[in-house]
Structure 1
Amino acid sequence: MGSERRNTLPLKFKLPRVDTLITLRSKITPCKKNNFICRYRRMLDLLTTPIDVSALAPTIEEYEKLLDWYVKDHPPFAKLGEPLMPESVAEALHLPIEEVSLGLRPRGFAIKFLEDKAWALEKEGKCFLLMSF
């Protein structure tokens, strides 16, 4: 008789810390927030959406419906397997190439680098320059 024991794969989920993003979001002027919503739809709502880690991850189609944003109309910045080029990242983020070169790693930017840059822009009164391009 076969064993009743099932082979299951344990999954571990790391919940991202978004407190800094929520704080920065509260500093967006209404005009910038409207511009962001026009461009990226309901993406900011993801910051305050409760997450049940025991549930399965939504499909791409479910994310599209949640965000009212269609993936096929918004291709990713870089193709899989292609390295990020500092020149194209600098152009997209309106940052000096030297600054991008210092912060860009093979898998992207460290969250600390992005948070520090966001706070620096906020101090300059350009809180969401990165969100408005």
Structure 2
Amino acid sequence: MSTEIVYCIGELGEKTGLKTETIRFYEKLELMPVPNKKMNGHRIYKQRDLDRLLFIVKLKKTSMTLQDIKQYLSYSDAGQYEECYNILQYQQKEVENELKSIQSTYDLLSYKIGNFKTLIETTRGVKLNEHQNIRTE
């Protein structure tokens, strides 16, 4: 007898951080397979459904569009691994570019903070510790 764990839509939402409406929307877009249903009509999901949804969430965080995610999942389901490879490689490059942009912004903020720290210490005679906030009341 199989003891595979099953989830209701609410549990899937809790585990993914998605609203149940979003999960249903993903089903309508065919990002998720049509779930089996209990006798009372409630959807039931398996671990593979949860894993797929978690991956969709991760891809969304990379700014990948739902259309591109659907295309990727279609290729994956069809065993077209070369296409999957190309899509993910492209998305990885996009994420890499975003990380570089964020790092550049972080570096600029660090530079500016350092300048203001020096100004405050030299003009106000106050020694600041790293990450110390200054009250400006």
TM-score, length-scaled by structure 1: 0.28
Larger RCO of the pair (alpha carbons < 8 Å, separation 6+): 1
Answer 1 or 2: which has greater helix percent: 2
TM-score, length-scaled by structure 2: 0.28
